[in-house]
Amino acid sequence: MELTEWLPRVDRYLRHLERLFSPDLFIFGGGISKRFDDFGDVFTSRAPVVPAELRNQAGIVGAALAAYERFG
């Protein structure tokens, strides 16, 4: 699916989630967060939509932290 088709679908989904849960914030992580600067302004939810602070590295850092906490 092209990004031009994906973005409107995600926007509708976020608005649906917003109606159900009233979140304060939506955070995008993973690979899509690398390109967030290219399209982050297209979302229309009232809650801010932001990339994860560590962008695509968040999963790697989280896995390393979990391993450290478990195994020292």
The amino acid at 43: F
Q: What is the mean pLDDT of residues 8-16?
A: 97
For residue 43 the two structure tokens come to: 């979302």
Per-residue pLDDT tens digits for 18-65:
999 999 999 998 888 888 999 999 999 999 999 999 888 888 898 999
Is pTM beyond 0.75? Reply is yes
Q: What is the pLDDT of residue 44?
A: 97
Q: What is the pLDDT of residue 50?
A: 96
Per-residue pLDDT tens digits for 18-28:
999 999 999 99
Task: Give the C-alpha separation, 25 to 68, whole Å.
Answer: 29
Structural domains of the chain sorted by starting position, each given as residue range(s) with its CATH number in brackets: 3-71 (3.30.420.40)
Which residues lie below 8 Å from residue 27, measured CB to CB, with a gap of 6+? Answer: 50, 51, 52
Task: Give the C-alpha separation, 9 to 12, whole Å.
Answer: 5
